[in-house]
Amino acid sequence: MNGNKSCEENTIIRNASNVIKKMNGYYLIINPEIPNLMVADDLGKTILELMIQQKRKRQDIIKQASAELDCSEKDVEHFIDSLLNAKFVGIPDSPTIMFKKIEPKLIGLQLHLTQACNLKCRHCFFSSGNRLEDELTDVEYLEFVKSFKKLGLRRFTVSGGEPFLRRELLFEMIKEARKQDLDPVSLSTNGTLLTEDDAHLLKKYDVKVGVSLDGGTAETHDFIRGKGVFDKTVRALMILREAGVYTTIGCTLMKANAENAEDVLHLAKKVGVEGVLFNTVRIMGRAKDNISDTHMTDEESAACLKRLWKTARKLGVRTGVESFLDISKGIKRIDLCGAGKTILGVAPNGDVYPCDSFLGINEFIAGNIKEKSIDVIWQDSPVLKPFRSISVRKMKGCCDCYLKYICGGACLRENYEAHGTIDEAPSSCLFMREVFEEMLAELGKKMWSGQ
């Protein structure tokens, strides 16, 4: 901000609500509201603390800091300017934080093609297996997809059950979605039914594929998903990679695989997939029936995630945390997920939900596409209105947390499971906070070392 007439020597400087954490040889300074992050030495930390004491004139701060810390006024002035530019301090009557409210806009759909599945995984929270009697017909599905461009959709994800049990319809929908200019089109599958021809079609239509793999060995994966499934899944991964399909692994962490979950990362590196996306098990459906194999405490989940992210960085396997650690792109301000605000989930029978995490909970059915068009449901359903008004800024368990805009809040389904409401964070946040603090420490270390 050098040369900026709005910040002359008599300008009053005010402090933002910064959090200062002492690290190994430096200080990590976090502005929770932007959010933003910087590192500083003892000198920088002391200057910031002088500014915290009270609203003071810029030149007074410069003179006092220079005299007390035995450094040049020019160095102090340069540091203050960097604080102003990064909004760690501000100028009265020029708010440090001003964010435009984002209006709800439907840009993505999560569509569960069928409830049918060829596996009966221990942790399946949909309890997939048999096809629903009232699933949408092929004609109904295709007519639905043809409306996507008019709706302004940009993203489309297909899952199940197992979508390859409706293979012909699946590819007709993918083909139509690409005609509608949707990008990306994504597919989630267990991989066991995938053929080489399927892989070539997925490449042709530029589909991003996520394959479920819950163990890096046959012993673990087959215990969770069934005998012989591991070999079929690994074969699918190889076929997809050979066809040049963008492929990731989706791994659900649970009691049965947490101890040796690193095996998945080693396999991912060997196969050469684009990355591994870890999530924690949802205790519902068959996961609830097999709770001794699925349930982990919050402490166990957090410890497992931290361990996996460390291993992934050593192996060079992407897990999703890398974008967070890339300071060149800045820290993105997140205020909850897009459930009911930018995305919707559609069940195999046409029921519409704020997102697919709520599938099966009747009170969150926003409508049915057999009865109303998706745009009417989007505009008029009272079920969606609460999702558009909540914020971590007002949410119990989030509002006072300095990580609220970095973490972005828990899954709203988890909120509901814990408290029967979507506007209170679950207790697991206390332990996930440890995970984010470790990532911030890693990021601070990179910044301090100049990486």
Q: What is the distance between the alpha carbons of residues 29 and 21, in angstroms, rounded to a whole number? A: 6
End-to-end CA, the chain: 25
Q: Which residues pair with 22 in a beta bridge?
A: 27
The residue-averaged pLDDT of 83-105 equals: 68
Question: Of 31, 9, 13, which Cα lies nearest the Cα of 91?
Answer: 13
Q: In angstroms, rounded to a whole number, what is the distance separating the alpha carbons of residues 336 and 339?
A: 8
- What is the per-residue DSSP string for 100-128? PPPPP---EEEEE--SB-S---TT-TT--
In contact, 70 and 442? CB cutoff 8 Å: no
What is the pLDDT at residue 6?
Answer: 39
Q: What letter represents residue 97's amino acid? A: I
pLDDT score for 96: 45
Residue pointed to by tokens 């060997």: 270
Please, what is the average pLDDT of the chain? 89
User: In this predicted model, what pLDDT tens digit does every residue of 251-296 receive, in sequence order?
Assistant: 999 999 999 999 999 999 999 999 999 998 988 899 999 999 999 9
Tens-digit pLDDT profile for residues 198-238: 999 999 999 999 999 999 999 999 999 999 999 999 999 99
Residue 322: the pLDDT is: 66
pLDDT digits 0-9 by tens, 154-187 = 999 999 999 999 999 999 999 999 998 898 999 9
Contacts of 95 (CB under 8 A, 6+ apart): none
Q: Which pLDDT tens digit goes with each residue over 405-416?
A: 998 999 999 999
pLDDT at residue 10 in the model: 44
Give the ranges where 86-217 is alpha helix by DSSP (H). 138-146, 148-151, 167-179, 196-204
Inter-helix orientation angle 218-225/229-242, to 10°: 110
Matching residue, tokens 């002035």: 77
353-386 pLDDT tens trace: 999 999 989 999 999 999 999 999 999 999 999 9
Residue 93, pLDDT above cutoff 50: no
Q: Tell me the mean pLDDT in the region 111-139.
A: 96
Give 16's Cβ-side CA count (13 Å radius): 27
Q: Specify the length of the chain in residues.
A: 451
| High-pLDDT (> 90) share of the chain, % | 63
Across 239-250, average pLDDT: 98
Q: Residue 52 carries which side chain, given as an amino acid letter?
A: I
DSSP H helical ranges for 316-427? 322-325, 374-380, 385-389, 404-407, 412-419
Going by their DSSP bridges, the two strands 207-212 and 247-253 should be labelled as parallel
The pTM (predicted TM-score) of the whole model is: 0.89
* pLDDT at residue 7 tops 70: no
Contacts of 167 (CB under 8 A, 6+ apart): 193, 198
Summarised one tens digit per residue, pLDDT across range 53-72 is: 656 677 888 888 888 888 89
Alpha-carbon distance values, 93 to 11, 12, 90, 358 (Å) = 11, 10, 9, 43
Judged by DSSP in three states, 145 sits in: helix
User: Which helix (H) or strand (E) is 11 found in, with range?
Assistant: none
